Amino acid sequence: MSEYINLLIGIAMGLNLLALGSSRLPTLIMAVALQGMALGLMPLLMETEADWRLVLVALATVAGKGLLIPTLLRKAMRAAHIDREVEPFIGFVPSLLLGAGGTIAAVALARSLPLLPEHSGSLLVPGSLASVFTGFVLLIGRAKAISQVCGYLILENGIYLFGLLLIHYTPLMVEAGILLDVTVGVFIIGIIVDRIQRAFDSLDTRKLTALRE
C-alpha cells in the first residue's frame, strides 16, 4: 500500500520538475492537472475500507484539481490569445536546479522531523515540502499570470499532500471546507485574471508595475 503512495508522490515530485522545466504553458497546465489527479487518488489508497465520504472527497479532488481547474486555465489561455511560451524571470535551468536543490533540502528537512511509526518511510513530508518550494519558485520566477496560478496550485497540492498525514484524524468537514476554499480561491483568481486581461489587454504581470514606491 505504502509503495503505491510513494510511487504516486514520486510521480508528483517528477511533475514538479517538469513544471519547472517546461517552456510551454500547455505542458505546465498538464503537469499541474496530472499532479492534482495523482494527489486526488491518494486518499483512496490510504484507506483500507472505502468510506463513501472519503470517496466523495477523492472524486471531488480529482474532478476539481485534475479536470475543472486545468480546463478553466486552458480556456483562459485560449480566450486571452496569449502565446504559449512561458516567460521566466528565473531561467529554466536555474529554476530546475533550484527545484532539485529544494527537493533535496526537503528530504533532508523531513528527516529531522519526527514521524509517527505508521508514516515512517513515507515520502509524504518531503513530497509536500518539495511541492511547496516548487510552487514558490514558479510564483516568483514566472511572468505570466497563468503560470503564477499554476505555481499557486502546485503550492496548494503540496499542502494537500501534507494534509493527508492527518486524514484519519481531522474531521472530514474541515477537509471539505479547505477544498471548497481552495476552489473558490481559484475561481476568484480566474475572474481577476479575466479582468486583468480586459484592463491591460495582456496577462503579463510585468505590466503590473504602476504601484510601487
One-letter identity of residue 11 = I
Give the integer Cα–Cα distance in Å for 136 and 11: 19
Q: How far is the CB of 115 from another protein (least distance, A)?
A: 8
Q: How far is the CB of 203 from another protein (least distance, A)?
A: 10
Residue closer to another protein by CB (options 75, 195) is: 195
Q: Where are the alpha helices (DSSP H) in the chain?
A: 2-21, 25-46, 52-61, 69-79, 92-112, 124-141, 145-163, 172-200
Give the integer Cα–Cα distance in Å for 164 and 143: 32
Q: How far is the CB of 198 from another protein (least distance, A)?
A: 9
**Rg, Å, the chain Cα set:** 17
Q: How far is the CB of 61 from another protein (least distance, A)?
A: 15
Give the integer Cα–Cα distance in Å for 125 and 162: 6
Residues that bind another protein (CB under 8 A): 17, 21, 23, 92-93, 96-97, 100, 103-104, 107, 112-116, 121, 128, 132, 136, 139, 145, 148, 152, 155-156, 158-159, 162-163, 165-166, 168-171, 174, 177-178, 181, 184-185, 188-189, 192, 195-196, 199-200, 205, 208-211, 213
Q: How far is the CB of 15 from another protein (least distance, A)?
A: 13
Looking up cell 478553466 gives 72
Instruction: With H, G, I as helix, E, B as strand and everything else as coil, classify residue 204.
Output: strand
Backbone angles phi, psi at 165, to 5 degrees: -60, -30
8 Å CB contact between 158 and 123:
no
Q: How far is the CB of 56 from another protein (least distance, A)?
A: 18
Q: Where are the alpha helices (DSSP H) in 142-171?
A: 145-163
